[in-house]
């Protein structure tokens, strides 16, 4: 089976401290390991069979504000006769539940080796690792080649900052926790009756964890207003309320430098519009839901729907009536978007939604705990510490190259891998790899997740060699010399792809 994933790591470490410099770079086997102050052991295997399974950048190298069109996920509104609201809206399709538990056989790795690796291949890889472009870095590398086993290991068990490689773990954990058909719904609810086109009460915009909602377009606030017009709504006697109560008011994840918001990611909220990056003022960054409520008021007014009261924030009352709704793209589609474009907002809201599905409070911490638990159950492993967010923007997202490579191999044996592979960038063709590996044996062959932060570059994924052997690898470059090491990193991977043995 061909695994395809390239991850790029984020790190800025010097003298045992992390610096929040800008994002990408390489490693050297001659430099001393960088002390990042966090111990991380190797992957710990769990028992061979799990009792059951649940069924049922890039930091800075991610897209800038004004990304490409999102996937559509519209769902007809409930109209004036819509369903009664009884509390916080669940996802359209919930977490795989215990009632759907299936016997789950733990995945196993292929034989570590069946023949000695050709000395010429090993020498060529280590020669690439000695490239002067890696000077000033620590390169964590683990490369497995079908039939040979691990043919390259450099600082392979050292925990390093992984940057947007974290999104691959987020994708794997999300698919282990949620069905790929799950959607997240934004609702508009009325707290009073609708008489002759007028809502006698408040109109509430309820965030449901959809990271793809925009102001205008096919999947937008304007789409919700269109539903209101079709339902005959023309006025509101009460207030316009923005409800983000699905999550706590935590605007950033642990380990994010203050200046990453909104430069690389919008302030977190269950009610996200235009990535929550359409305003950069302090008031909006502190309370994006209120600002998004004002956006909704402007769209309502443009359509001739007047709201008499002020705009405010707060939870919708139980029993309010749904008058319009919009479902997000499916989890499978969101994962594809996250991997291809390294979308930070999608990664963070998926993380929080996995926490909600597991019974948590919608915080980042609840989400990362639930993601790690789901992935451990799925792959029957014990993960090392170092999972702080969903996007990889955190400087405390740590993983060793060997652990990451092993996780990719195990994941590649699972049915969910097809959804991951379909979303990964293809070298020289799509996503964050569109301009890399052009004219090399890796073009059109390598599928990988990229990532970078200041003083961090990484690449982790899969390819097939010229000799027809599958390759799974993880390369994490940390240190001040990481930024100029991208070409050297790519040359190492191209050398792998060119091997004809």
Q: What is the pLDDT of residues 258-286, one digit of tens each?
A: 999 999 999 999 999 999 999 999 999 99
Same domain? For 194 and 155 the reply is no
Number of structural domains the chain divides into: 2
Where does a domain end: 327, 361, 395? 327
Distance in Å from the first CA to the final CA of the chain: 18
Domain shared by 196 and 146, yes or no = no
Do 451 and 388 touch, CB atoms closer than 8 A?
Answer: no
Tallying the residues shown for the chain, one arrives at 501
Q: Is residue 447 part of a domain?
A: yes
Output the CA–CA distances (angstroms, integers) from residue 163 to 76, 320, 471, in the order listed.
38, 42, 22
CB 274 within 8 A of CB 288: no
CATH assignment at residue 148: 3.40.710.10
Q: How many CB atoms lie within 10 A of CB 319?
A: 11
C-alpha to C-alpha distance for 16 and 4, rounded to whole angstroms:
33
| CA 246 – CA 406 distance, rounded (Å) | 35
Q: Note the pLDDT tens digit of each residue in 207-225.
A: 999 999 999 999 999 999 9
Structure confidence at residue 57 (pLDDT) = 60
Rg (CA), the chain: 24
Regarding whether 213 and 258 lie in a shared domain, the answer is: yes
Residue 36: predicted pLDDT: 23
Helix (H) or strand (E) segment spanning residue 350: helix 344-357
- Give the pLDDT score at 110: 73
Q: What is the DSSP string of 252-311?
A: S-TT--GGGTTTTSPPP-SB-SGGG-S--SHHHHH-HHHHHHHHHHHHHHHTT-EE-S-E
The three-state secondary structure class of 497 is helix
Question: How confident is the model over 379-435, as pLDDT tens digits?
Answer: 999 999 999 999 999 999 999 999 999 999 999 999 999 999 999 999 999 999 999
Domain edge (last residue) among 327, 348, 381 = 327
Question: From CA 261, how far away is CA 257, in angstroms rounded?
Answer: 8
**Strands 321-327 vs 102-105: parallel, antiparallel or unpaired:** unpaired
How much is the pTM?
Answer: 0.83
Q: Do 313 and 192 have their domain in common?
A: yes
Which of 287, 310, 327 marks a domain boundary? 327
**437 and 417 together in one domain:** yes
Within 10 A of 8 (CB to CB), how many other CB atoms are there? Answer: 37
The token pair at 186 is: 């934004």
Q: How far apart are CA 292 and CA 439, in angstroms?
A: 45
Beta pairing class for 44-45 and 311-313: unpaired
Domain that holds residue 196: 185-327
Give the pLDDT confidence of 424-482 residue by residue, as tens digits.
999 999 999 999 999 999 999 999 999 999 999 999 999 999 999 999 999 999 999 89
Name the DSSP letter for residue 58.
Answer: B
| Packed helices 166-177 and 331-341: angle between N→C axes, nearest 10 degrees | 170
* 160 and 262 belong to one structural domain: no
- Say if residue 479 is in the same domain as residue 384: yes
pLDDT per residue over 146-185, tens digit each?
999 999 999 999 999 999 999 999 999 999 999 999 999 9
Distance between CA atoms of residues 437 and 446, nearest Å? 9
Determine what percent of the chain is predicted with pLDDT higher than 90: 76
The residue behind tokens 């819509």 is 82
Residue 1 lies in a domain: no
Kindly state whether residues 225 and 304 are assigned to the same domain: yes
What was the pLDDT predicted at 65?
38
- The percentage of residues in the chain with a pLDDT greater than 70, rounded to a whole number, is 79
Q: How far apart are CA 4 and CA 450, in angstroms?
A: 11
The residue ranking higher by pLDDT, 355 or 75, is 355
For residue 5, is it within any domain?
Answer: no
Beta strands in 381-455 (DSSP E): 381-382, 398-399, 447-453
* 444 falls within a domain: yes
Based on the domain organization, do 175 and 261 belong to the same domain? Answer: no
Domain membership flag for residue 433: yes
The answer as to whether 442 is a domain residue is yes
Q: How many CB atoms lie within 10 A of CB 135?
A: 18
328 is written with which tokens? 């997000």
d(CA 500, CA 467): 4
**Domain assignment present for 92:** no
Domain with 220 in it: what CATH number? 3.50.80.20
Residue 213 inside a domain? The answer is yes
Distant-in-sequence, close-in-space partners of 482: CB < 8 Å, separation ≥ 6: 11, 24, 25, 26, 137, 452, 455, 456, 457
């Amino acid at each position: 089976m061909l695994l395809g994933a390239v991850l790029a790591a984020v790190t800025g470490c010097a003298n045992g401290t992390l610096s929040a410099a800008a994002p990408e770079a390489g490693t050297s086997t001659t430099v001393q390991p960088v002390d990042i102050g966090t111990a991380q052991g190797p992957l710990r295997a769990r028992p061979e069979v799990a009792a059951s399974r649940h069924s049922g950048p890039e930091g800075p190298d991610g897209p800038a504000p004004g990304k490409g069109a999102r996937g559509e996920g519209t769902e007809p509104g409930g109209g004036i006769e819509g369903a009664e609201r009884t509390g916080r809206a669940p996802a359209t399709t919930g977490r795989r539940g215990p009632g759907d538990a299936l016997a789950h056989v733990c995945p196993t790795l292929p034989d570590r080796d069946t023949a000695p690796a050709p000395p010429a291949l090993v020498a060529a890889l280590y020669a690439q690792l000695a490239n002067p472009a890696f000077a000033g870095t620590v390169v964590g590398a683990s490369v497995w080649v079908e039939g040979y086993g691990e043919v390259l290991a450099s600082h392979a068990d050292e925990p390093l900052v992984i940057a947007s490689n974290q999104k691959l773990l987020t994708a794997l954990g999300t698919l282990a926790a949620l069905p790929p058909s799950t959607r997240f719904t934004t609702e508009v609810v009325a707290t009073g009756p609708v008489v002759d086109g007028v809502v006698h009460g408040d109109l509430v915009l309820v965030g449901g964890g959809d990271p793809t909602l925009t102001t205008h377009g096919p999947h937008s606030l304007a789409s919700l207003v269109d539903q209101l017009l079709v339902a005959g709504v023309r006025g509101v006697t009460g207030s316009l309320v923005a409800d983000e109560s699905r999550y706590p008011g935590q605007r950033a994840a642990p380990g994010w430098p203050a200046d990453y918001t909104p430069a690389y990611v919008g302030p977190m909220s269950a009610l996200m519009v235009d990535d929550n990056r359409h305003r950069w003022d302090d008031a909006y960054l502190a309370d994006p839901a209120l600002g998004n409520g004002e956006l909704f008021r402007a769209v309502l007014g443009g359509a001739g729907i007047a709201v008499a009261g002020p705009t405010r924030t707060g939870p919708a009352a139980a029993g309010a009536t749904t008058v319009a709704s919009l479902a997000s793209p499916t989890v499978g589609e969101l994962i594809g978007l996250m991997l291809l474009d390294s979308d930070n907002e999608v990664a963070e809201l998926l993380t929080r939604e996995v926490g909600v599905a597991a019974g948590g409070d919608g915080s980042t911490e609840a989400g990362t705990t639930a993601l790690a638990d789901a992935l451990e159950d799925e792959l029957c492993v014990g993960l090392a510490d170092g999972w702080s967010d969903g996007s990889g923007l955190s400087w405390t997202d740590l993983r060793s190259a060997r652990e990451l490579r092993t996780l990719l191999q195990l994941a590649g044996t699972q049915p969910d891998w097809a959804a991951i592979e379909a979303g990964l960038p293809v070298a020289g063709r799509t996503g964050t790899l569109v301009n890399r590996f052009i004219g090399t044996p890796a073009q059109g062959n390598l599928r990988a997740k990229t990532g970078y932060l200041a003083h961090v570059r990484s690449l982790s994924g899969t390819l097939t060699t010229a000799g027809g052997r599958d390759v799974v690898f993880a390369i994490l470059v940390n240190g001040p010399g990481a930024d100029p090491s991208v070409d050297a990193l790519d040359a190492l991977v191209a050398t792998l792809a060119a091997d004809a043995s």
